[in-house]
Structure 1
Amino acid sequence: MVIKQRTLKNNLDVLQQKARERTVKTQNVEYDLETLVKRIKKKSIKLDPDYQRRHRWSAETSSRLIESLILNIPIPVIFLSQDVDVDEETEDSTARYTVIDGQQRLTAIYDYLRDQFPLEGLETLSELNGAFYRDLPPFLVRRLEERTVKCMRIDSTVDAQVKFDIFERLNTGSVRLESQELRNATARGPFNDAIKEMAKFAEFRSMIQVPENDPASNSKVQKMEDVELVLRFFALRDGRYKTLKKGFREFLTTSLIQFNDWSDQEIDQGAWEFGVYMRFIYENAEDLTPFAKFRRGGKRMSTFNAAVFDAVAVGIAEVFSAADLDDDPDEAAQALEGYRELFEDENFFAAVSGSVNDGAKVVERIDAMVAHLGR
Structure 2
Amino acid sequence: MPQVLQEEIDERSREIHTDRYSMSINEVVAMYQDGDLEVHPEFQRIFRWTIEQQSRLVESVFLGIPIPPIFVAQRSDGVWDVVDGVQRLSTLFRFMGALRDDKSEKDLPYPLAQGEYLKALYGVVWEEGIQAPDTELDPSLISPLEEAQRRVFKRARLDFQIVQKESDDQAKYDLFQRLNSGTRLSEQEARNCLAVMLDPTFSRWLEHLASREYYTNVVDITERKEQESYGTEAVLRYLACARASMRELQDMGDFGEFLTDQMRSFMADPTFVREKELERFEFVFTSLRDALAEKSFRRYYSDGDRFTGAFSVSAYEAVTSGIARNYEFWRSVEGPERSEMIRQRVKAVWQDSVFDTRSGGGKRANRRIPYMVEVGERIFRG
Question: What TM-score range do you get, normalising by the shorter chain?
Answer: 0.5 to 0.7
1:247 counterpart = 2:230 = no
CA displacement 1:173-199 (0-9 Å, x = unmatched): 344561563486399867x95475044
**Distance (Å, rounded) in 2 between the aligned partners of 1:144 and 1:69:** 15
- CA RMSD in angstroms comes to 4.8
CA displacement 1:1-60 (0-9 Å, x = unmatched): 7xx55x689x6xx9767645534122123315xx655543443321129xx8563135xx
Which residue is equivalent to 1:310? 317
How many residues were matched structurally?
A: 344
Which residue is equivalent to 2:55? 67
Which residue is equivalent to 2:286? 279
Amino acid at match of 1:277: V
Contact 1:78 1:152 in 2 (8 A): yes
**Distance (Å, rounded) in 2 between the aligned partners of 1:140 and 1:329:** 69
- What's the offset of the Cα at 1:231? 2.6
**Distance (Å, rounded) in 1 between the aligned partners of 2:356 and 2:328:** 28
The two structures have a TM-score, normalised by structure 2, of: 0.66
**Distance (Å, rounded) in 2 between the aligned partners of 1:141 and 1:309:** 59
The unaligned stretches of length 5 or more in structure 2 are 98-105, 124-134
1:204 counterpart = 2:192 = no
The unaligned stretches of length 5 or more in structure 1 are 85-93, 212-217
1:80 counterpart = 2:85 = no
Which residue is equivalent to 1:152? 160
**Distance (Å, rounded) in 1 between the aligned partners of 2:358 and 2:138:** 50
Matches within 5 A, 1:171-320: 171-176=180-185, 178=187, 181-182=190-191, 185=194, 194=202, 196-201=204-209, 202=212, 203-208=214-219, 223-237=228-242, 240=245, 243-245=249-251, 246-263=253-270, 266-282=273-289, 284-288=290-294, 290-292=296-298, 300-302=308-310, 304-318=311-325, 320=326
**Distance (Å, rounded) in 2 between the aligned partners of 1:307 and 1:121:** 47
Which SS does the other structure have where 2:47 is aligned?
Answer: coil
1:22 counterpart = 2:16 = yes
Contact 1:70 1:143 in 2 (8 A): no
Which SS does the other structure have where 1:168 is aligned?
Answer: helix
Which residue is equivalent to 1:55? 45
The two structures have a TM-score, normalised by structure 1, of: 0.67
**Structure 1 stretch 354-363 or stretch 97-106: which is displaced more?**
354-363
Contact 1:307 1:356 in 2 (8 A): no
- What's the offset of the Cα at 1:134? 11
